[in-house]
Each structure stands twice: as structure tokens, then as C-alpha cells.
Chains A and B, each alone.
Chain A
Amino acid sequence: MTNHLSRRSFLKSASAAAAASLIIGFGPDKVLAASDGISEFTPFIRISSDGVVTAIIKHFECGQGAATGLATLIAEEMNMPLDQIEIEFAPADGTRYANLLFGSQGTGGSTSLANSFMQYRTAGAAAREMLITAAAEQWGISHETVSLDNGQLISGSNVLSIGDVAGNAAQLNVPAEPTLKDPSEFTVIGNPNTGRLDNAAKTTGTAQYAMDIHLDGQIAAVLLRSPRFGGTLVSMDDSAASEIPGFIRATEIPTGAGVVVYAQTTWAAFQARMAISAEWDFSNAENRSSDQIKSDLLAAVNSEPEHHAKGDRTATEEALNNATQIIEQEFFFPNLAHAPMEPLTCTIAPAENGVVLYDGCQSPAGGQAALSAVLQIPAENVEVNTLYAGGSFGRRSTATADYHVEAALAFALNGGHQPVKLVWSREDDLAGGYYRPAVAHKVRVGLDENGKISAWDHRTTSKSIFKGSPFEAFLVHNGVDHSSVEGITDTLYDLPGQFVGLTDDKTPITVSWWRSVGHSHTAFVMECMMDMAASAAEQDPIDYRLAHLTQGTSDQARLAEVLRIAAEKSDWGRNLQNDRARGIAVHKSFGTYVAEVVEISQDDSYVQIEKVTCAVDCGVPVNPDVIKAQIESGVGYGIGHAMRNEITLTDGEVDQFNFPDYEPLRINDIRAIETHIVPSTEPPSGIGEPGTPPASAALANAIAVLGMRVTHHPMNKNGVDFA
């Protein structure tokens, strides 16, 4: 890049043309253009002349196993072992690499495998047919006698490596509807012993994350942000920072968002930031404390709801009046940070015709749009170099592309002539917002004379995640953000007389999708209420749930099946010693059905989680071992936060500083997790998130057996002592 973007031109940049100084393009084709000896088969497969097959991965890899999963689909259709496939992350290119369920390029909603299953298999099958045709042509024989196996084309005694014909094969037309393998022939899909493709890189320290980027001439940037949500910068004093070796400069962000602190190294930037003092205007900020926020939310669920999300309020009220018993309960869930292990970071570097974004990029479309808007360059001139992401849980993609915008501002305010790496500290992460919203629920359930549910009045309140986001049109209808009520309005239980009311909370605290989104709290409420209803009806919790799944739909049958399997595998009927208890919960989210049984022990009032037994139906199990790993991870994430995590405010300022006061799940917290996968031929559904929703509910239901019904999170602040 030759033109420097001055601060003044940045300030004027509302008029797009004025600042279009970073400019012009390489097309996406150039990024993937076949170089010497590399042949491209569809946007998803490349084969080198020495026979190396590379799968181009359109989703980011944050641990959920998407890279392994997509490569598995190609390996299967190309009849080769998974470990022979190399992986490479796709560039930003929404025409070739869109998430077919979003219409733009990005990862989320546990959709990676679901949207790619046919696409990547088709690509693999197309490559197989092209290679076979090319070999047949070379040998002058019918393609029907040629087979592809383990990287070799074989016909009788004729053998060729795929590398030998790749060049010719790639010239052929890509078959639009190649013949896919019959599932009965699968050897890679469904194989539990394939391993992960990122094992080697991630055990030797060679895997490259965005935090690991060091480019020539690169400097570090950290931000001094408002200590309260919604505050704006009035003034700052950086005179003491000049003492810090490596400090370069502190620059106010024109929007009032804060101060960019530049330094030669990350450590110097952290040190310099501590030496800068700032004054803020808090007149539009969140200035309340958590106690107040909590009581405001609980008051909202005890008032007239703003939106009717489902049902007829009068009819439900009448059904409640006719009920034999009414069970009534309030629930509360605090804000939660995602706290992925790798703090947020990305680097923007000048390129000949634009910029390159180095990022563990969850949403290339979002990253491109953010950089394009701030830098006033066409989106296609933002190249995205996707690296491994050190966890995300939803955090690396937000509706405002928050850290990408920050990085773009830092890059532009530095003049745009050198690479700038934005780094968040763990303190920035915990105080940085985009939390799981704080949520309150109030539920009144009516039972008839047989103990069956005859009325269900459900009020909830939380800040809408999707209003104002690019997904608003998909997820907000008649004022109701579906993610605030998902798992309630679409419950699979037979709940006659269900009314669901929603009130939007309007706090300036920023919120976002957090692993399993609305299900992260709704599953807890639904499954605790089902348990409380079972207990009021004096029925076994599993029998009681099954008695509310009687419509004979496939949805209910699949939910019932995971319940039965979890019951059987956890030996549900077995008598437990007095100091032991177990609880169950089941929930469908992201198309996947999960039941979990938590068994706990109690010693001198301290609760220890002994075992979690899980049953999961996520359609065709593509990588059974990855599925198990994701259930283990989802269970740990759900339980760990419910046990002891919360983000709280005192006079608007976040109380939590770092891991010591946002204590992660530790190795001794859950003694064992066992996962059983339901065999299925249904299309694959989500797996990164569905393990999370039922976990804390099953734990609460186990604790309830010991005599304590915990309904407010975190549990350790609401009466439960963990060992």
C-alpha cells in the first residue's frame, strides 16, 4: 500500500469516495489460482502432481472439529484414508465458500457439517469421477473398469497415482451430479478411529493462531476502553506512558470509543496502557449494579409481557385456574463471558491492493465488511488469512464485528502503512461485553388430577441478541427475538395451554450468542420445571417426560430414544447409596437430541460430580470421536459456568478481573463423562453446541434429589457447595 490513511482522511471517511485510498484488487481466483503442479477440483479440493490431496476448509476451526469433519467427507468419496488429506482454510469468498444456511461465509449455530455434508461429498465424488475419466482416457479404456483407491487409479494391472492424472483430470468438466457412495459403503464416515487432522500441529506447538502472527514491521495495539458499557472518552493523559520502553503513541479514537495504545511489543503495550489515565462521560452508560439489574429483570417477569411469543394468555390463565396443582418458580441467569482460551486478537497488514486480515476468523463476511467500512475500501480488497482459533464459543463473531472494527481503527489511525496487531488481555476479555445476556424467567405450571401438565405460563426477559444484527430478518418476528425463547416455544413436550411472554431488556451491556445461545438458559428452565412437575405428580422423571411425548412425531421419537438410552446406560433404576443422587435432562437444539444423566456424591455438604452419561442423536455420525469430544466439551462448558461463573457489575463496572474470579472448570470438577451415539441415517445436525443445554439442568435435578432446588445461577452463590 502506498497511500497512507491519515487521521484526517479517516475522520472524513463517512464519504466513501474521499478515503478510497487503500484500493484495488486481487480476485479470489488469484488466491486459489492453480500454481505449478497444483490442480483444482471444485473450490474444495486441490491435488498436487505428487498426489497430495488438500481439502479447502470453508469453516474456521476453533476446536469443534470442522476441519477434520469436512476433510472426512472428501476422503470418503475419494476412497482414501483421512490422514492422507491435508487441510487449508479457505480465503474470504462468499460466492464459493458461503455457509449454505447463512448465505454468507461464516461459522455458527453448529451448522458446519449440516450445511457442508452434501456439498463436500459431492466435491469428493466429482474429483473421483474426473480422475477416473482422465485415467481411462489415458489408457484408452472404458471408465467403468477403472477404480480409485487410496490415491491410486487401478484397472487390471494398470496403476497410476492420482498426481499423474490430476493435471488432465482438472481440465475436464466438473460433473454436476456425480454418483455419491451409498452409506453402506462408508469406511471413513462413521469410523471412530480416524483421529483429528490437527493433532500433530496442536501437540507440538506448531499450529498457528492469530496470536502467533509476527510480521515484519508489525507493532502491537491495545485499547483503553470505557470501564462502563456505553461510556465515551472525554480526555486522556498519556504523559506517564512515555517512560515505558517500547511505547510508541496513544491515540484517541474519534468516536469516543477509547484510546489506542501502540507499542513495539505486546508487553510494552500492556504496560503503557496502565500508565495512561482517562476521563469518561457515563451519562448514557450502564451505571447500575448487578443486584439492581437482577431485581429489575425479576420484576419484568412478574409484569405484563411486552411481546406474546406463543399461545393465548387468557386461555392459559383459565387453564391454570382449572388446574389441580400449580407449581411456580422464578429463575435467574447472570451475564457470562465466553472466555475462549486465546484472548481476542487479529492483525491487519497493508497489501499491494488493500489489506490482509490475519484472524481466527469465524466470519470472513463479517470481518471483510467491518474492515471495508472502516478503511473505506471494497470488501473484496480485504484478504482474509484464517488461522486456527484458540476457542470461540461464539465470541469471534459478533453482530458489530467488534474487535475487527477496533483493529481496523488501530490500523487506520496509525496511518495504514504497517501491520498492526490488536491484542486483548484476559482482563479486556472478561470486561469486554458481548456476553450471554442476563436472563430471568418465571414459570407457572398447572397439573390436572392425573398429574399431567394442563397449563404452562412462561415469562422471560433478556436483552435481544439479534435485534440490530444482520440476522434480524431471520430471527426476529413480530417483535420476538426467537433466540430469547428458543427451547420454550418450540418445546417437543405436549404442553397444552402454553403461553410464552417476552420482555426485552434494554441495558447498554453488549450481548451476543454464547455457546447454545437461548438454549443455554431455556433448557435449564424447561428441564427443571419438568422435574418439579414429575415430583409434584409423584412420578419417575423419565416416565413423566415420556408421558408428555405422545404425538408419535419423529421429533418426539428421537427425543424419547435418547432419554431411554441415557437411562439405560446410566443404570437409572439402580438404587444409589444415601450420599449419591442423579438427575436427568433432555433437550433438542441445533437439530440434535441430547439426554444427560448427572450422578453426584455429597460429602459433608460438598457436592462432587461423579459421572455424566450422555446419549446423542445428531443424524449420521460423521466423526464419532469428534462427536464424543464435543459432548464432553459442551457438558463441561455448561456445568462449569453454572457451578461458579458470573459477570457482575458494581456501579456499572465489571467486577471480574481475570480467571481467578471467573474460575474455569478444572480437571477435578467432573470425574467422568460417557457418551453414547444413536446410530442414524438422518442428515447430520449440529454438535458443537447441543451438549451444553441439558448439562446444568441435569446437575440441578440431581442436587434437588439431595433436597435443594437451585434455580439461580451461579449455583455456588446460591447455596450449593462444590467439592
Chain B
Amino acid sequence: MVTSLMINGHRQEIDVPDGTPLLWVIRDELKLTGTKFGCGVASCGACTVHIDGQPTRSCQTYIEDVSDAEITTIEGVESEVAGAVHQAWNELSVVQCGYCQSGQIMSAIGLLTENRTPSVEEIENYMWGNACRCATYQRIRAAIQRASEILEA
């Protein structure tokens, strides 16, 4: 089945069977490898992309359901909020192995776009589904607060 997708502002024709997860289209067909495979069952968040601006688990999103949507991956994300998040992540050296971090960042951008001044509890609730096996959580929390500060400055 040829499906047409709008990814990072470009329209692309993809020939994969219906039912193929968006994750594998992004990674194996489009070779946009910043979006990661961690579990395949929506429980780690490594595969998080934005669909019409909403952080979404691409491993549980089927290709045929997103042909009309705007899909943004870590490679294509650009906004004032994204800039603040990147700056904060660098200032605090959040990353360790880094494998979960594209997903963490896509979720954090989603959170701060909705709510520029989240409380600690709001951060924890929003970010709960993004697992980090290196346990960088302490810095993720702090970096989101720092990004909020940058945005409010």
C-alpha cells in the first residue's frame, strides 16, 4: 500500500503494508534514526514523535492512521520551546547513554508547549511514560524547570 506522509514538513510516499507501525517507517524506510525503538509496546517512550503537535508513541501508531497528519521527529522539531529545551538539556548535561533522550525531549517539548510553567507534579505526571534506564530523571526534572525559566525570561 502506498501511503503519503507529511514528515518534518516534507510529503513522502511510502510503500508498506497497512498495520506497519509508524516507528518502523520512520526508522527503516525514511532512515530518520533519531526516533528510537525501545519496547514496541508503548511503555518506554523512546519512539515519541509529534503528531499534529502532540507527543505520540510511534510504535503504536499505524501508518494508515496518520496519512493526513503532520508528523515531526527529533530531526525536524523547531520552535522557541524546542530551543529552550535543547539549551537546558545541554546546560545540565542530562544525557547519559542518550538512547531515550530523543523521546524525553519530544515529550518535554510537548509539555512546555501546553504549559510553560509546570509544577514538579505536572512534570512527573507528563513524563512518567518516558523511561530512562540510565535514570537521568533528576536532571530531566531540573532541565524542564530550567527550560521553563528560559521561556519565561
Asked if A391 and B39 make an inter-chain contact with CB atoms under 8 angstroms apart, the answer reads no
Closest to A640 in B: B135
Does B127 lie at the interface of the complex (its beta carbon under 8 Å from any beta carbon of A)? yes
Asked if A635 and B135 make an inter-chain contact with CB atoms under 8 angstroms apart, the answer reads yes
Does B101 lie at the interface of the complex (its beta carbon under 8 Å from any beta carbon of A)? yes
Asked if A667 and B37 make an inter-chain contact with CB atoms under 8 angstroms apart, the answer reads no
Asked if A629 and B43 make an inter-chain contact with CB atoms under 8 angstroms apart, the answer reads no
Does A637 lie at the interface of the complex (its beta carbon under 8 Å from any beta carbon of B)? yes
CA distance A633 to B137 in the complex (A): 9
Does B97 lie at the interface of the complex (its beta carbon under 8 Å from any beta carbon of A)? yes
Does B51 lie at the interface of the complex (its beta carbon under 8 Å from any beta carbon of A)? no
Task: Please tell me the number of chain A residues within 8 Å of chain B, measured between CB atoms.
Answer: 61
Chain A positions within 8 Å of B125 at CB level:
668
Asked if A426 and B127 make an inter-chain contact with CB atoms under 8 angstroms apart, the answer reads no
Chain B positions within 8 Å of A208 at CB level:
33
The answer to whether residues A266 and B133 also contact, given A633-B96, A658-B40, A668-B128 and a CB cut-off of 8 A, is: no
Cβ contact of B33, chosen from A211, A341, A391, A669, cutoff 8 A: A211
Which one of A10-18, A196-204, A322-330 is at the interface?
A196-204
Task: Please tell me the number of chain B residues within 8 Å of chain A, measured between CB atoms.
Answer: 55
Cβ contact of A389, chosen from B32, B97, B130, cutoff 8 A: B97
Asked if B135 and A198 make an inter-chain contact with CB atoms under 8 angstroms apart, the answer reads no
Cβ contact of A199, chosen from B24, B35, B93, cutoff 8 A: B93
Determine how close the nearest CB of chain B comes to the CB of A100; give it in whole angstroms. 25
Chain B positions within 8 Å of A212 at CB level:
27, 33
The answer to whether residues A265 and B24 also contact, given A199-B95, A342-B36 and a CB cut-off of 8 A, is: yes
Does B132 lie at the interface of the complex (its beta carbon under 8 Å from any beta carbon of A)? yes
Chain A residues numbered 316-347 whose CB sits less than 8 Å from any CB in chain B: 339-343
Asked if B35 and A664 make an inter-chain contact with CB atoms under 8 angstroms apart, the answer reads no
Asked if B40 and A341 make an inter-chain contact with CB atoms under 8 angstroms apart, the answer reads no
Asked if A672 and B134 make an inter-chain contact with CB atoms under 8 angstroms apart, the answer reads no
Indicate the member of B39, B41, B97 with the most A CB atoms within 10 Å.
Answer: B97
Chain A residues numbered 387-404 whose CB sits less than 8 Å from any CB in chain B: 388-393
Asked if A203 and B90 make an inter-chain contact with CB atoms under 8 angstroms apart, the answer reads yes
The answer to whether residues A199 and B90 also contact, given A207-B98, A341-B131, A342-B99 and a CB cut-off of 8 A, is: yes
Closest to B38 in A: A341
Does A139 lie at the interface of the complex (its beta carbon under 8 Å from any beta carbon of B)? no
* A-contact 0/1 string along B115-127, CB 8 Å cutoff: 0000000011101
Chain B positions within 8 Å of A214 at CB level:
28, 31, 33
Determine how close the nearest CB of chain A comes to the CB of B33; give it in whole angstroms. 4
CA distance A425 to B37 in the complex (A): 9
CA distance A658 to B60 in the complex (A): 14
Asked if B136 and A202 make an inter-chain contact with CB atoms under 8 angstroms apart, the answer reads no
Asked if A664 and B98 make an inter-chain contact with CB atoms under 8 angstroms apart, the answer reads no
The answer to whether residues A667 and B44 also contact, given A203-B101, A212-B33 and a CB cut-off of 8 A, is: no
Cβ contact of A203, chosen from B31, B95, B135, cutoff 8 A: B95
Cβ contact of A625, chosen from B28, B93, B105, B136, cutoff 8 A: B93
CA distance A464 to B27 in the complex (A): 40
Asked if A267 and B20 make an inter-chain contact with CB atoms under 8 angstroms apart, the answer reads yes
Determine how close the nearest CB of chain B comes to the CB of A107; give it in whole angstroms. 13
Asked if A667 and B98 make an inter-chain contact with CB atoms under 8 angstroms apart, the answer reads no
* B-contact 0/1 string along A167-188, CB 8 Å cutoff: 0000000000000000000000
* B-contact 0/1 string along A201-230, CB 8 Å cutoff: 111111111011010000010000000000
Asked if A205 and B34 make an inter-chain contact with CB atoms under 8 angstroms apart, the answer reads yes
CA distance A198 to B94 in the complex (A): 10
* B-contact 0/1 string along A659-692, CB 8 Å cutoff: 1100011111110110000000000000000000
Closest to A635 in B: B135
Determine how close the nearest CB of chain A comes to the CB of B72; give it in whole angstroms. 11
Indicate the member of A198, A203, A211 with the most B CB atoms within 10 Å.
Answer: A203
CA distance A629 to B98 in the complex (A): 13
Chain A positions within 8 Å of B73 at CB level:
205
CA distance A332 to B125 in the complex (A): 33
* A-contact 0/1 string along B70-109, CB 8 Å cutoff: 0001110000000000100110011111111110010000
Asked if A664 and B44 make an inter-chain contact with CB atoms under 8 angstroms apart, the answer reads yes
Chain B positions within 8 Å of A629 at CB level:
93, 96, 136, 139
CA distance A672 to B139 in the complex (A): 10
Does A62 lie at the interface of the complex (its beta carbon under 8 Å from any beta carbon of B)? yes
Chain B positions within 8 Å of A220 at CB level:
28
Chain B positions within 8 Å of A62 at CB level:
97
The answer to whether residues A391 and B28 also contact, given A198-B98, A203-B95, A666-B128 and a CB cut-off of 8 A, is: no
Asked if B24 and A266 make an inter-chain contact with CB atoms under 8 angstroms apart, the answer reads yes
CA distance A209 to B134 in the complex (A): 16
CA distance A341 to B96 in the complex (A): 11
* A-contact 0/1 string along B21-65, CB 8 Å cutoff: 100100111011111111111011010000000000000000000
Asked if B93 and A196 make an inter-chain contact with CB atoms under 8 angstroms apart, the answer reads yes
Asked if B124 and A342 make an inter-chain contact with CB atoms under 8 angstroms apart, the answer reads no
Determine how close the nearest CB of chain B comes to the CB of A350; give it in whole angstroms. 21
Asked if A343 and B128 make an inter-chain contact with CB atoms under 8 angstroms apart, the answer reads no
Determine how close the nearest CB of chain B comes to the CB of A673; give it in whole angstroms. 5
9 CB contacts below 8 A, A to B, read A203-B94, A204-B34, A209-B36, A214-B31, A392-B97, A426-B44, A664-B133, A665-B137, A668-B128
Interface residue ranges, B against A (CB under 8 Å): 17, 20-21, 24, 27-29, 31-41, 43-44, 46, 73-75, 86, 89-90, 93-102, 105, 123-125, 127-128, 130-141
Top-7 shortest CB links A-B: A205-B34, A636-B135, A390-B99, A202-B98, A63-B97, A63-B96, A205-B74
Knowing that A205-B102, A667-B141 touch, tell me 20 more A-B residue pairs with CB under 8 angstroms: A63-B97, A203-B98, A204-B74, A205-B35, A214-B31, A214-B33, A265-B24, A270-B40, A390-B97, A391-B133, A426-B44, A629-B96, A636-B135, A640-B135, A658-B39, A667-B132, A667-B137, A668-B128, A669-B137, A672-B138
